[in-house]
Chain A
Amino acid sequence: MSAHALILPKFDGDGGDVWRLENYVARGGYEVLKKIVAEKTPAEAIIAELKASGLRGRGGAGFPTGLKWSFMPRSFPGDKFVVCNSDEGEPGTFKDRDILRYNPHAVIEGMIIGAWVMGCTRGYNYIHGEIFEIYQRFEAALEEARAAGLLGQNILGSDFSFELFAHHGYGAYVCGEETALLESLEGKKGQPRFKPPFPASYGIYGKPTTINNTETFASVPFVLKMGGEAYLALGKPNSGGTKIFSISGHVSRPGNYELELGTPFAELLQMAGGMRAGRKLKAVIPGGSSAPVLPADIIMDCTLDFDAISKAGSMLGSGAVIVMDETTCMVRALERLSYFYHDESCGQCTPCREGSGWLYRIVHRIEHGMGREEDIDLLRSVADNIPGRTICALGDAAAGPVKSFLKHFEDEFIYHIEHKECLVPPARQEDGFLIPDYVSRPC
């Protein structure tokens, strides 16, 4: 078994007070920070440890954390910021919600250590709009940390000061893109900025800023506690440590599972209780809805780490695994995703704003029996002309699923166009959209 929970604490029932400061401290929390402050550990030593650990960004891009932190102009005079990206809205991803719900102090400790390393005076955690109750919990955790002298002026009696606040989003997927998030933090529409300049030189309010994902910050105390090499040894070379996989869709026990990177997909599927109602696996989107879909035979041979998934033609992304069984109509599934990207395009770049709409409308007409013979080439042509022509990656994310669904399931699209109906009989699909067992269980 490769389950190795570092970040997600063990608990019964709804978790109760597992998130509270006293319980985090009882689990060894804030020991790393206390040691750093007492020993005045140099920033370079911490960065070296993070680099040795192989910790890569957990938000989707997988950028090495130690390297990112080293980009910050530490000695640059004036304010510098550290920002946590908890704007988790990529369909399939729901790990940050559970981290903030059950272990918010790990994120806070990781951010304080980040501030220490990068010389930041102020930080924000940008929390996804739809999880207001989690935002309130994080605010309560911040209050606990302030009262304990872990945040604010002269942290733990030292001359190191750092203020941290929660910022609540209000429903815009694009704000998960780091520069859109910065615009939003400044109180504007969340429209991504051109890069360069990168946030490390021009971030929030034009000041040097580093943005990391929630899980990345939460990993930092654990990496430093066990040491970079030991953390790396938990995973695979180039994919160090543990990762939280959010598994959803047609499985018996959807949820978050923290595993060592490099764990076989089959093992995760087994932990999630296998396929719902004993059905056959058809396809998996392994890294959030913008990651290319993989058919059952390919994913069943994959291990879950950055390199293996990339070699199989997809990406590990945020670790959001969407599982679809044999009753799923792939045209219908793609139609819903294409609608999402069109709906969430910020409208700034023409290829994304218009292209995502074209993609949706073409898939929509195929799904509804109005598809034309030339539509498949047209879809490919539109999807090929968005990536690389937009400011941020949302356009690529809209095009990616279209290309991969066509690559692996073109026959279903052709069948739809030729027969004006679905390859999977509609009655069977209804069956497939069966409410999981736990829903019909009394509350």
Chain B
Amino acid sequence: MESEESQMSKSEFKPLSQEALRLIDREIAKYPAGKQQSAVMSALRIAQQEKGWLAPETIEEVANYLGMPPVAAWEVATFYNMFDLEPVGRHKITVCTNLPCMLSGSLHVAAYLKEKLGIEFDETTADGQFTLKEGECMGACGDAPVLLHNNHQMCARVSKDEIDRRLAEWRSQ
């Protein structure tokens, strides 16, 4: 069973696109010659944006591209919490619940999202559209409550109306 699964993931595995490699090259150019490992976080980010999540094969491909041991790239991927080592929905929503956001209603935001999507934190909707995550401080406490869409788009001062609007927008993308 296990070997069948890994066989399947291997046959499904597609290398990174030329566009992704071009973006990674741009990151590598920021560091001194021979220090391309410094670009590993950016390279993993670019790979994750393209693939949706970081499969072991993707991490290995990034490591090989940067000429570093795969285990070193794996260490990085497991250390930073915005990397997804398991598949997530097309839209990952991370809600900050840290103290300043909590004082401004983030628990209401989380409860409303759970109710609307019918999932708890760390779960994905059955249609594979949405994953809900609990996040740590995003450095935007003055705009609390905040949430993050697919790691890159921050939504500030979110209300119920705003959540309804955003969910509809993302669903239609």
Is A97 in contact with B139, judged by CB distance below 8 angstroms? yes
- B27-56, CB under 8 A of A: which get 1 and which 0? 000111001011111101100000000000
Residue of A nearest to B77 (CB): A170
Which of A189, A205, A438 touches B35 (beta carbons < 8 Å)? A205
Tell me the bound Cα distance from A328 to B153 in angstroms: 30
Residues of B within 8 A of A167 (CB): 30, 38, 41-42
Is B98 in contact with A336, judged by CB distance below 8 angstroms? yes
Is A433 in contact with B141, judged by CB distance below 8 angstroms? no
Tell me the bound Cα distance from A40 to B48 in angstroms: 47
Is B105 in contact with A435, judged by CB distance below 8 angstroms? yes
CB distance from A407 to the nearest CB of B (A): 18
B162 CB-CB contact with A under 8 Å: yes
Which of B31, B72, B97, B142 touches A188 (beta carbons < 8 Å)? B72
Interface residues of A in 307-366 (CB under 8 A from B): 320, 322-324, 328, 333, 336-337, 340, 343-344, 346
Tell me the bound Cα distance from A314 to B135 in angstroms: 27
A218 CB-CB contact with B under 8 Å: no
Is B137 in contact with A173, judged by CB distance below 8 angstroms? yes
Q: Known contacts being A187-B41, A248-B144, A433-B102, is A343 close to B108, with CB within 8 Å?
A: no
Is B103 in contact with A186, judged by CB distance below 8 angstroms? no
Interface residues of A in 384-443 (CB under 8 A from B): 432-436, 438-443
Is A188 in contact with B136, judged by CB distance below 8 angstroms? no
Tell me the bound Cα distance from A289 to B161 in angstroms: 30
Residues of A within 8 A of B104 (CB): 248-249, 254, 433, 435-436, 439
- In the complex, identify which listed stretch (B13-21, B80-88, B116-124) lies at the interface while the others stay far away: B80-88
Is B141 in contact with A248, judged by CB distance below 8 angstroms? yes
Most buried by A among B35, B79, B103, B135: B103
A198 CB-CB contact with B under 8 Å: no
Is A187 in contact with B103, judged by CB distance below 8 angstroms? no
Q: Known contacts being A132-B152, A248-B142, A254-B144, is A433 close to B107, with CB within 8 Å?
A: yes
Q: Would you mind naming 19 contact pairs between A and B with Cβ atoms under 8 Å apart?
A: A88-B139, A91-B99, A94-B140, A131-B139, A133-B153, A167-B41, A185-B38, A188-B76, A247-B142, A248-B100, A249-B99, A249-B103, A322-B99, A336-B102, A337-B98, A433-B104, A433-B107, A438-B157, A443-B165
Which of B75, B99, B139, B151 touches A336 (beta carbons < 8 Å)? B99
Which of A128, A320, A433, A443 touches B162 (beta carbons < 8 Å)? A443
A92 CB-CB contact with B under 8 Å: yes
Is A91 in contact with B72, judged by CB distance below 8 angstroms? no
- Classify chain A: how many residues form its interface, as a range: 35 or more
Residues of A at the B interface (CB closer than 8 Å) are 79, 88-94, 96-97, 122, 124, 128-133, 165-173, 184-190, 205, 246-250, 254-256, 289, 320, 322-324, 328, 333, 336-337, 340, 343-344, 346, 432-436, 438-443
Is A439 in contact with B158, judged by CB distance below 8 angstroms? yes
Is B38 in contact with A255, judged by CB distance below 8 angstroms? no
Is B82 in contact with A170, judged by CB distance below 8 angstroms? yes
Is A165 in contact with B136, judged by CB distance below 8 angstroms? no
Which of A165, A322, A340, A442 touches B161 (beta carbons < 8 Å)? A442
Residue of A nearest to B41 (CB): A170
Residue of A nearest to B103 (CB): A249
CB distance from A368 to the nearest CB of B (A): 15
B154 CB-CB contact with A under 8 Å: yes
Is B100 in contact with A91, judged by CB distance below 8 angstroms? yes
Q: Known contacts being A187-B39, A322-B99, is A246 close to B142, with CB within 8 Å?
A: yes
Residue of B nearest to A434 (CB): B105
Is A94 in contact with B139, judged by CB distance below 8 angstroms? yes
Residues of B within 8 A of A96 (CB): 139
Residue of B nearest to A135 (CB): B152
Residues of B within 8 A of A190 (CB): 79-80
Which of B72, B83, B154, B159 touches A439 (beta carbons < 8 Å)? B159
Which of B35, B41, B157, B158 touches A168 (beta carbons < 8 Å)? B41
Tell me the bound Cα distance from A323 to B102 in angstroms: 12
Which of B37, B79, B103, B139 touches A433 (beta carbons < 8 Å)? B103
Is B136 in contact with A89, judged by CB distance below 8 angstroms? yes
B126 CB-CB contact with A under 8 Å: no
B167 CB-CB contact with A under 8 Å: no
Is A79 in contact with B141, judged by CB distance below 8 angstroms? no
